[in-house]
Chain A
Amino acid sequence: MKMHCGQARDELALEVGQDLDTGLGEELRLHLSECPECCRDWLALQESHAHLQHLKHDSPVVESPGLWQDVEIAIRGRGLKPERSSFPSRVLGVAVGVLFTVFFLDSFRSPVSDDQTLLIGLPFEAEPASPEVPYQPQWPPLVLADPELVEVELVGWPSGADDGVSPDAMPEVRRVRWRSSSRPLALVPHQFVHQPIRRPGLALPPPQMRPWRRSSGIPIARTTHEILRTGVDADF
Chain B
Amino acid sequence: MTQMTLGGAINSGLRRALADDDKVVLLGEDIGKLGGVFRVTDKLQEEFGPRRVMDSPLAEAGIIGTAVGLAFRGYRPVCEIQFDGFIYPGFDQIVAQVAKLHYRTRGKVKMPITIRVPFGGGIGAVEHHSESPEAYFAHTAGLRVVSCSNPQDAHTMIRQAIACDDPVLFFEPKRRYWLKGEVSEDLGADTLPMGSARVVTEGTDVTLAAYGPLVPTAMDAAAAAADDGISVEVIDLRSLSPIDFSTVEKSVRKTGRLIVTHEAAQSGGIGAEVAAAVTERCFDWLEAAPARVTGFDTPYPPAALEEAFLPDLDRLLDAVDRVMGRRNSLTGWKATA
Q: Do A and B bind each other?
A: no
Interface residues of A (CB under 8 A from B): none
Interface residues of B (CB under 8 A from A): none
